[in-house]
Structure 1
Amino acid sequence: MVSRLLVPMDDSEMAENALEYALDVHGDADVTVLTVVGEPSQLMGEATAVAMADDPRAKAAELAAPVLERAQEIADARGRSIDTVVGLGHPAREIINRADEYDTVVLGSHGGTIAERLVVGNVAKTVFNRSPVPVTVVR
């Protein structure tokens, strides 16, 4: 039986689909939404903003807020409660490092822009191949 789910989210439609699936299919499970910010990239956007902030954790929470607000809207529409958490660094690594605290991971098949996917790589594929717990990939 699945009682604890980790649902990683970015600002993509596929991530929203994954959360909707998790909430609909696993009605009794505790759901935690994880969004990861501050990932190093060639453009250094979020990573630079987090690293240069006086309070890096507060800056990460600020950058994560839109994704977590959307996750809460999706949960509210289904009459469900969720927990939220913000990770720092590389998304696949953060997901894999946290996965063993859960029964399963439910994530979108891909996310972000085409340019981000080329730079970052395929998070879903990495998580699927390296997760210590079962992974459901949602399209």
Structure 2
Amino acid sequence: MLSRILVPMDNSEHASHALEYALENHPEADVTVLHIVGVPSMMMGAAVGLSLEDDISEAAAERAEPVFERAREVADEHGREIDEIVGVGHPARNIIDRAEDYDTIVLGSHGENWSRATRQFLVGNITETVSKRAPVPVIIVR
């Protein structure tokens, strides 16, 4: 029986389906939603603003809030509560580094940055990396 599940989420539909899967199929487990905002670097598009912030943790939490709002809506629909964690860094590495604290990872097959055509043929890069390197079982949800 699984008692602790990590569900990495972005704004994608696949991520919401992963959370729904975890909540529906493991009603006794504690579910933690992880949102990673990216590496704070002057060289990365969306993370540029984060690297210019005085308080990176506060800025990261602000950026994660829309994802957590959606996660809370999904959890409320299932009568469940979730824990929330904000990560800063490379998504796959961040997920893998936290994995040992959980019994399994449940994640969507593709993130929000994939085109429709690409999603039909490939498993997302982050999903593939996590599934190959995680020290715990990984459940991939479409």
User: Do both share a fold (TM > 0.5)?
Assistant: yes
SS in structure 1 at match of 2:110: coil
Aligned partner of 2:105 in structure 1 is: 105
Aligned partner of 1:53 in structure 2 is: 53
Structure 1 stretch displaced more, 106-115 or 28-37: 106-115
Pair 1:86-2:89 in alignment: no
Select the residue among 106, 116, 131 that pairs with 2:134.
131
Alpha-carbon separation, structure 1, partners of 2:77 and 2:93 = 30
Aligned partner of 2:5 in structure 1 is: 5
Q: Percent identity?
A: 59
For the 8 Å contact 1:72–1:82, the answer to whether it is kept is: yes
Distance 1:42 1:59, change over 3 A: closer
For the 8 Å contact 2:40–2:51, the answer to whether it is kept is: no
Deviations 1:25-77 (A, max 9, x none): 00000000000002468972332111110110010011111001100000011
For the 8 Å contact 1:38–1:48, the answer to whether it is kept is: no
Alpha-carbon separation, structure 2, partners of 1:122 and 1:42 = 23
For the 8 Å contact 2:40–2:50, the answer to whether it is kept is: no
Mark the runs of 5 or more structure 1 residues left unpaired by the alignment.
none
Alpha-carbon separation, structure 2, partners of 1:108 and 1:61 = 22
Alpha-carbon separation, structure 2, partners of 1:113 and 1:29 = 29
Alpha-carbon separation, structure 2, partners of 1:41 and 1:71 = 27
Which letter does structure 1 place at the counterpart of 2:132?
N
SS in structure 2 at match of 1:17: helix
Alpha-carbon separation, structure 2, partners of 1:17 and 1:41 = 30
SS in structure 1 at match of 2:46: helix
Aligned partner of 2:62 in structure 1 is: 62
TM-score (norm 2): 0.89
For the 8 Å contact 1:36–1:64, the answer to whether it is kept is: yes
TM-fit CA distance, 1:3: 0.2
SS in structure 1 at match of 2:101: coil
Cα-Cα RMSD: 1.9
Structure 1 stretch displaced more, 35-44 or 96-105: 35-44
Alpha-carbon separation, structure 2, partners of 1:41 and 1:25 = 38
Mark the runs of 5 or more structure 2 residues left unpaired by the alignment.
119-123
Name the count of aligned residue pairs.
135
Aligned partner of 1:27 in structure 2 is: 27
Alpha-carbon separation, structure 1, partners of 2:31 and 2:99 = 12
Deviations 1:83-127 (A, max 9, x none): 000000111000000000000000000011237x8xxx6000000
